[in-house]
Amino acid sequence: MIEFLLHPGSGVSPYLQIVQQVRQALRLGLLREGDRLPTIKTVVAQLAINPNTVLKAYRELEHEGLVAPRPGAGTFVLRTLADDTVTAHDPLRADLRAWLDQAWQAGLDDDSIEALFWTTFRVARREAGSKEDVA
């Protein structure tokens, strides 16, 4: 069973945060086929959010073919998003960890590290995108 977290200042709507967290759990193998998602009542009580928000998130996941409701029993995972890239996670995590150590040693604080990561990520993403356009 997974637990959801909401980041109020993130600018991402609560329903989308739930969708993203389920997708992420499916990608990382934290949720597998046949697993049950927390009931709407549980999520609502834990996060103090509107039941319609959770319902909307679960419908979206259902629409994507990732989960399906079973009447009276709950909402269950139909397929995972974990693919062959999962095997690459461990070495990549180790690299990232080593990079983080370097950044701390160089005296960067957490905010600077995050800012550096995201700006680099966005630039790389844009460059990769424009290459695809040319090809």
Partner 1 sequence: MTAVVRAQGLGKRYGRRRALSECTVDIPAGRVVGLVGPNGAGKTTLLRLAVGQLTPTTGSIEVLGGRPAADAAQLSRVGYVAQSTPVYSGLTVEEHLMLGDRLNPRWDMRIARDRIESAGLDSRQRAGRLSGGQRAQLALALAVAKRPDLLILDEPVSALDPLARREFLSGLMESAADTGASVVVSSHVVGDLERICDYLMILVASRVRLAGDIDELLASHHQLIGPRRDPTTLPGAEVITARHTERQTTLLVRAQRPVDDPAWTVAEIGLEDLVLAYMKADAASLSPMEVLR
Q: Does 47 bind partner 1 (CB under 8 A)?
A: yes
**Which of these segments, 36-44, 71-79, 94-102, 111-119, binds partner 1 (CB under 8 A)?**
36-44
> Which of 1, 7, 8, 65 touches partner 1 by CB under 8 A?
8
29 vs 51 by CB, closer to partner 1: 51
Q: Does 10 bind partner 1 (CB under 8 A)?
A: no
Report the C-alpha gap between 7 and 5 in whole angstroms: 7
- Three-class secondary structure assignment of 16-77: HHHHHHHHHHHHCCCCCCCCECCCHHHHHHHHCCCHHHHHHHHHHHHHCCCEEEECCCEEEE
Q: Does 120 bind partner 1 (CB under 8 A)?
A: no
Q: Does 49 bind partner 1 (CB under 8 A)?
A: yes
**Which of these segments, 4-12, 59-67, 110-118, 124-132, binds partner 1 (CB under 8 A)?**
4-12
> Which of 45, 98, 115, 116 touches partner 1 by CB under 8 A?
45
Q: Does 16 bind partner 1 (CB under 8 A)?
A: no
- Six token digits for residue 41: 């009542």
- Sorted by sequence, the CB contacts under 8 Å of residue 53 that are 6+ apart come out as 14, 15, 18
- Sorted by sequence, the CB contacts under 8 Å of residue 79 that are 6+ apart come out as 26, 33, 65, 66
Residues that bind partner 1 (CB under 8 A): 6, 8, 11, 13-14, 40-41, 44-53
